[in-house]
């Protein structure tokens, strides 16, 4: 706590400086630490002036999340206000104090760089920053003019993201239901297409929000026509023969079955033999159990069935495998007879090894229909195989650039909507393959130009490995205490004051921090135009005036046919 003499000295110093040099001085430092500074903010007649005119602009001073500048011996340090409070000296004088988090330094020419090399000492001046100075920080860091929104504190200052670091070093968009995640994703992709029209973005659309139809069967994609291709994941056909051996095992074999080990051994040998026999006339090199080459599912079924009933001596002597594949065969028959799985187990298009080329072209928007954005509608994929399908999509994205000699010239971003549904924390076997593939991309994907954009309403339930690898976090409103604590512990530049505002953010308002932004920033994300197919349903209007008549017969028929 300051003594009365120190407080008077600080006030007199303020008066002298205000009268002689500048109209931007708002305080002086009284404490300096490695992570934060403490400043006494100047007041007039005991009242703190929360507004200041700088030139023709009115600037707000001391708001949590706002920016100030500390000047000392020719060095300017940009700081963020974490919190502010009042304190009385022993003599009864009221002081207004603020805790400031250092973000980076401004060079003589006004250029901003992250990190602080030259720390100030107590007594250093604290100045307000003009809108022009703030805009300079963001615009100088703009990578290709990637403008995403406006600074919340001013409503006029443009906020730019560093596109290469945002997309290339993985990013996360986190917020509870209704906070504006889908709008934010749409806005960021639309902005990317305006400034980077040759982008390569793949969106895993779990709830038909970004495609050309919504739950009512009619809709339009929020992305420009000619730049987007919307595909039903079932029509794209990600066939069984692209699944890894682990995924096929997960699909067909019950780990609790007493014969599981024998079933896995036979399944492995049968798949290798069938892949080699089917592709014997092609120059494919060494074919392994995980090689992405075609084999017939019916042939696999027959081989397992034959092993299950194998005997000798005219059936008198049963083989070691006799009857040990009963549960495996029942599981295979059940899935093969369920038309919901036809896109996976009974493909109509992807029925040869050569068809993989067409699949990859459609997947990456390089086929007959060129597209910068590919929207994969997963809303109608059966929930028990959805994690497996997402694993395949992630594998296709990674393998495309892993084997692409021009991978550094062909960067890809995979948008993982509702990531908690298939990249969860914990070790549930159902999500093992999807989680493993996503974590692989999170760890090494950037070396091959493959980035993740992880979107979730339950960050606490998302793989810690994946989130920890994200270089940029865009946090919308979060009120769940577990999610708040998880995000606070995970994100970089953890300015506690600005993260404390997570519960008070408005729709479409976000706190962005990390490598994709020059400084942590609270911003209003640009309104997407057009918006995604995710607007809230108007209960009031439809319940008051009555909604559309429901054709139950047609509804049931759609259910029977599995057509939404």
Give the CATH H-level superfamily of domain 147-237+355-534. P-loop containing nucleotide triphosphate hydrolases (3.40.50.300)
Helix axes 245-252, 386-402, angle to 10 degrees: 170
Residue 14 pLDDT: 44
Which band of pLDDT confidence, cut at 50, 70 and 90, is reported for residue 315?
A: low
Select, from the ranges 91-95, 337-341, 475-479, the one with the highest average predicted confidence (pLDDT): 475-479
pLDDT at residue 376 is higher than 90: yes
Mean pLDDT throughout 227-235?
A: 89
Contact 217, 564 (CB under 8 A): yes
Where b means 16+ CB within 10 Å and e means fewer, 494-518 reads ebebbbbbbeebeebbbbbbbbbbb
Mean pLDDT throughout 385-397?
A: 91
Alpha-helical runs (H) found in 56-201: 131-140, 163-168, 181-195
Contact 221, 201 (CB under 8 A): no
Lookup: tokens for 231: 């595909």
Beta bridge partners of 149: 159, 525
Lookup: tokens for 259: 């014969």
Round to whole Å and give the CA distance between 190 and 168: 17
Residue 542 pLDDT: 79
Helix axes 432-444, 386-402, angle to 10 degrees: 30
Q: How far is CA 379 from the centre of its chain?
A: 19
Round to whole Å and give the CA distance between 437 and 430: 13
pLDDT at residue 191 is higher than 60: yes
Where b means 16+ CB within 10 Å and e means fewer, 187-204 reads bbbbbbbeebeebbbbbb
Where are the chain's structural domains? 22-137, 147-237+355-534, 245-333
Contact 281, 350 (CB under 8 A): no
Residue 355 pLDDT: 95
Helix (H), strand (E) at residue 244: none
Q: What is the DSSP letter of 372?
A: S
Interstrand relation of 450-456 and 171-174 (parallel, antiparallel or unpaired): parallel
**Which of 433, 438, 493, 488 is closest to 463 using CA atoms?**
438
Where b means 16+ CB within 10 Å and e means fewer, 91-112 reads eebebbbbbbbbbbbbeeeeeb
Mean pLDDT throughout 485-489?
A: 84
Contact 329, 304 (CB under 8 A): yes
What is residue 549's three-state secondary structure?
A: coil
387 phi and psi angles, rounded to 5 deg = -60, -35
What is residue 563's three-state secondary structure?
A: coil
Round to whole Å and give the CA distance between 155 and 159: 10
The model's pTM: 0.86
Round to whole Å and give the CA distance between 15 and 45: 12
Residue 214 pLDDT: 54
Residue with tokens 């997947």: 363
Mean pLDDT throughout 203-232?
A: 82
Which band of pLDDT confidence, cut at 50, 70 and 90, is reported for residue 400?
A: very high
Round to whole Å and give the CA distance between 298 and 294: 12
Round to whole Å and give the CA distance between 510 and 524: 6
pLDDT at residue 16 is higher than 80: no
Range name among 4-18, 180-194, 299-313, 405-419 with the lowest pLDDT average: 4-18
Contact 533, 129 (CB under 8 A): no
Mean pLDDT rounded to a whole number for the chain: 86
Round to whole Å and give the CA distance between 513 and 515: 7
Round to whole Å and give the CA distance between 480 and 488: 12
CB atoms under 10 Å from CB of 87, counted, come to 13
HEC sequence for 267-331: HHHHHHHHHHHHCCCCCCCCCCCCCCCCCCHHHHHHHHHHHHCCEECCCCEECCCCCCCHHHHHH
**Which of 317, 316, 298, 318 is closest to 308 using CA atoms?**
318
Backbone Cα Rg of the chain: 30
pLDDT at residue 453 is higher than 70: yes
Residue with tokens 């307000």: 128
Interstrand relation of 37-41 and 94-106 (parallel, antiparallel or unpaired): antiparallel
Residue with tokens 């304190």: 87
Q: In this structure, what is the dihedral angle of CA atoms 219, 224, 227, 231, given to the nearest 10 degrees?
A: -10
Residue 11 pLDDT: 47
Residue 22 pLDDT: 56
Provide the sign of the torsion angle of the four alpha carbons 116, 119, 122, 125, taken in this order: negative
User: Cα–Cα distances in Å, from 464 out to 131, 179, 220, 376, 397?
Assistant: 37, 22, 35, 25, 21
Lookup: tokens for 491: 């994100």
pLDDT in tens, 274-292: 999 999 999 898 999 999 9
Mean pLDDT throughout 252-281?
A: 93
Helix (H), strand (E) at residue 558: helix 552-561
Residue 15 pLDDT: 42
């Amino acid at each position: 706590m300051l003594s009365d003499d120190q407080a008077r000295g600080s006030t007199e110093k303020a008066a002298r400086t205000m009268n002689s040099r500048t109209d931007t001085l708002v305080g002086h430092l009284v404490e300096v630490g490695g992570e934060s500074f403490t400043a006494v903010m100047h007041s007039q007649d005991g009242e703190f002036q929360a507004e200041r005119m700088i030139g023709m602009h009115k600037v707000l001073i001391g708001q949590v999340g706002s920016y100030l500048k500390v000047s000392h011996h020719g060095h300017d340090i940009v700081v963020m206000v974490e919190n502010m409070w009042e304190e009385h000296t022993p003599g009864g004088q009221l002081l207004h104090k603020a805790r400031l988090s250092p973000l980076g330094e401004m060079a003589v020419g006004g250029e901003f760089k992250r990190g602080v090399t030259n720390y100030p000492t107590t007594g250093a001046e604290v100045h307000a920053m003009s809108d022009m100075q703030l805009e300079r920080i963001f615009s100088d860091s703009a990578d290709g003019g990637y403008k995403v929104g406006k600074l919340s504190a001013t409503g006029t200052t443009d906020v730019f993201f560093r596109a290469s670091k945002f997309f290339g070093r993985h990013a996360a968009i986190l917020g509870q239901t209704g906070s504006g995640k889908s709008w934010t994703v749409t806005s960021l992709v639309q902005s990317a297409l305006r400034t980077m029209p040759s982008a390569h973005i793949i969106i895993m659309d779990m709830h038909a929000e970004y495609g050309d139809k919504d739950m009512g069967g009619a809709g339009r994609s929020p992305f420009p026509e000619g730049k987007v291709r919307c595909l039903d994941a079932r029509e794209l056909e990600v066939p069984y023969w692209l699944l890894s051996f682990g995924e096929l095992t997960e699909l067909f074999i019950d780990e609790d079955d007493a014969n599981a080990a024998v079933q896995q051994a036979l399944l492995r040998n049968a798949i290798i033999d069938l892949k080699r026999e089917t592709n014997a006339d092609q120059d494919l090199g060494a074919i392994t159990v995980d090689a992405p080459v075609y084999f017939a599912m019916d042939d696999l079924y027959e081989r397992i069935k034959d092993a299950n009933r194998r005997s000798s001596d005219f059936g008198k002597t049963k083989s070691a495998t006799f009857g040990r594949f009963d549960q495996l065969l029942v599981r295979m028959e059940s899935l093969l007879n369920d038309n919901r799985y036809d896109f996976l187990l009974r493909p109509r298009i992807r029925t040869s090894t050569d068809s993989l080329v067409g699949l990859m072209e459609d997947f990456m928007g390089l086929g007959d229909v060129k597209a910068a954005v590919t929207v994969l509608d997963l809303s109608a994929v059966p929930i028990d195989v959805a994690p497996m399908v997402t694993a395949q999509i992630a594998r296709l994205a990674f393998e495309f650039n892993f084997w692409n000699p021009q991978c550094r010239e062909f960067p890809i971003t995979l948008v993982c909507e509702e990531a908690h549904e298939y990249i969860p924390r914990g070790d549930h076997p159902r999500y093992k393959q999807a989680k493993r593939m996503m974590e692989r991309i999170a760890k090494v994907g950037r070396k091959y130009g493959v980035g993740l954009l992880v979107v979730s309403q339950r960050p606490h339930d998302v793989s810690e490995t994946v989130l920890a690898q994200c270089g940029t976090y865009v946090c919308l409103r979060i009120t769940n205490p577990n999610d708040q604590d998880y995000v606070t512990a995970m994100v970089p530049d953890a300015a506690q004051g600005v993260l404390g505002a997570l519960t008070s953010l408005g729709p479409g308002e976000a706190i962005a921090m990390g490598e994709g932004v020059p400084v942590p920033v609270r911003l209003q994300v640009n309104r997407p135009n057009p918006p995604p197919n995710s607007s809230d349903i108007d209960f009031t209007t439809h319940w008051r005036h009555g909604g559309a008549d429901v054709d139950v017969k047609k509804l049931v028929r759609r259910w029977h046919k599995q057509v939404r």
